[in-house]
Amino acid sequence: MSERVVLAYSGGLDTSVGIGWLKDQTGKEVVALAVDLGQGGEDMDTIRQRALDCGAVESIVVDAKDEFANDFVMPALKANARYQKRYPLVSALSRPVIVRHLVRVARELSCDTVAHGCTGKGNDQVRFEAGVLALAPELSNIAPIRDLALTRDKAIAYAEEHNLPIEQSKKNPYSVDKNVWGRTVETGPLEDPWSAPGEDVWEYTQTPSGDKPADEVTITFAHGIPVALNGKSVTPLQAIQELNALAGPHGVGRIDIMEDRLVGIKSREVYEVPGAEVLINAHEELENLVMERDVNRYKRSIEADWSHLVYDGLWYSGLKRSLDAFIDETQKPVSGEVRVSIHQGAAVVTGRKSEQSLYDFDLATYDTGDTFDQSHAKGFIELWALPGKIAAKRDSK
């Protein structure tokens, strides 16, 4: 049997041409693997057939929408994961689930190499290859665009020469990656940091309008996971999909950020994450209600570390697993309901309640019935400030 390579296949120009290009350059048979993460667009059966028509010896399509939501997005939600405090890791979360299936297929079909369509400039090359090496160190990695000089003009010429079934149209100026958790847009006019995104950038959201009345949703969480919307039971995938549909028309979740890439360059990135914005805001506020102060404070620093690890392609690392264990422990009391008002680009928490609440009305109220003994405050402040007081006396000498 000929040597085989399994290619992470999107159905687009680069990976379609990559099938034949890989075979020509390496002599290996190519197995195409397309993973459905809720990105929408073309029918997956069409993508499967296109890979075969482009020369793949086998073409596999995996429906991983629920797997993605349950095993990858929900840990991110528990971590309130936002890279640079804003980006909820749309693409970074999708790569390790694709890697999981690339490794599985490679082993099942006796492939010795894994391939992907990344360039040498981005983060995804690291996420794919570091993930593969962590799960299957015996496999090799190859990237046709980066390693085999497959430029876009060569790809177009190759497709025309070999009559590949790829419809060519006026080139979209943007590079887009999307899944159910959100949508990533870069390049084209966005490469100028001063250039405002045009209306053609957006797909998951609409421009906020004051004429549109606010929508309200109550999200029920169980141990950090959304389990119901307005009292109706949902899976994690359904929760994301329904909140995308609810919040997108209000323009919620538009992000425009100068991003620090792992490879050392800055990149202007635009994201649409309507459902993610609603869920993270609600989840974080429920944690504020039920978590002890020190746990809450410490977890906020851990969230940044967790986000950096995932952004940097280290989903399968030992440190990431250890942080997961800490975060899962913190989620035990994170059950309750959060009410969110969605309007004019914002998802604002307007109410929260939980049987695990640490809020005590009798301690917090300023009205009659207050049970907080204010006489304790003076001595507490004296002890709290004592180190600073002693240092001030020393420094004044």
Give per-residue pLDDT as tens, 74-104. 999 999 999 999 999 999 999 999 999 999 9
Q: SS3 breakdown of the chain: % helix, strand, coil, rounded to 5?
A: 45, 20, 35
User: Residue 118 — very low, low, confident or very high, per pLDDT cuts 50/70/90?
Assistant: confident
Token pair of 305 as six digits: 């570390």
Give the Cα separation of 335 and 344 in Å (integer): 28
Of 118, 123, 119, the closest CA to residue 83 belongs to 123
Distance between CA atoms of 152 and 144, rounded to whole angstroms?
11
The reply, when asked if residue 294 is annotated as ligand binding, is no
How far apart are the C-alpha atoms of 334 and 356, rounded to whole Å?
7
Between CA 244 and CA 39 the distance in angstroms is 12
Q: Output the CATH code of domain 362-396.
A: 1.20.5.470
CA 320-7-99 angle, to 5 degrees, is 15
pLDDT digits (tens, 9 = 90+) for 259-285: 999 989 999 999 999 999 999 999 999
Give the pLDDT score at 167: 63
Nearest to 89, CA basis, from 245, 315, 300: 315
- Strand pairing category for 175-179 and 140-142: unpaired
In the chain, which residues fall in CATH 3.90.1260.10? 186-291+333-353
Task: Say if residue 2 carries a ligand binding annotation.
Answer: no
Structurally, what CATH architecture does the domain formed by 4-161 represent? 3-Layer(aba) Sandwich (3.40)
Q: Confirm or reject CATH 3.90.1260.10 for domain 186-291+333-353, answering yes or no.
A: yes
- Tell me whether residue 371 is annotated as binding: no
Angle at 280 (CA atoms; ends 279, 286), nearest 5 degrees: 90
What positions carry a catalytic annotation?
Answer: 14, 95, 124, 175
pLDDT score at 346 = 95
> Residue 166's pLDDT is what?
73
Which has more pLDDT, 392 or 153? 392
The reply, when asked if residue 311 is annotated as ligand binding, is no
For the chain, residues classed under CATH 1.20.5.470 are 362-396
Residues in a beta bridge with 107? none
